[in-house]
Amino acid sequence: MGMALDEPKTNDMVIEKAGIKFVVDKNLENFLPFVNIGFRRSWLGTGFYVEPGKDGPHADGCC
């Protein structure tokens, strides 16, 4: 899973949080409750991130 600037396609859904629109493939809808999307500012850089949530599949970092 990753992020890219993109326009919605036929099989996409649009989710808006805090005024920001996220375009997500409908095939990933079941995984959304287990994904954290946020914004981070640190000495390593600034930007959005997508990471597995604590209760989701593969939350332990294993494949």
Instruction: Give dist(CA 7, CA 4) in Å, integer.
Output: 10
Instruction: Note whether residue 63 is domain-resident.
Output: no
Torsions phi, psi for 45 (to 5 deg): 150, 175
Instruction: Note whether residue 62 is domain-resident.
Output: no
Whole-model pTM: value is 0.56
Instruction: Note whether residue 25 is domain-resident.
Output: yes
Instruction: Note whether residue 34 is domain-resident.
Output: yes
- Domain housing 42: 12-52
Show Cβ contacts of residue 59 under 8 Å, excluding neighbours closer than 6 positions.
34, 52, 53
Instruction: Note whether residue 58 is domain-resident.
Output: no
Q: How many domains does the chain have?
A: 1
Please tell me the predicted confidence (pLDDT) of residue 46.
Answer: 93
Instruction: Note whether residue 24 is domain-resident.
Output: yes
Q: In angstroms, how far is CA 32 from the centroid of its own chain?
A: 7
5-50 tens-digit pLDDT = 778 888 898 888 778 888 888 888 887 778 888 889 999 999 888 8
Please tell me the predicted confidence (pLDDT) of residue 2.
Answer: 67
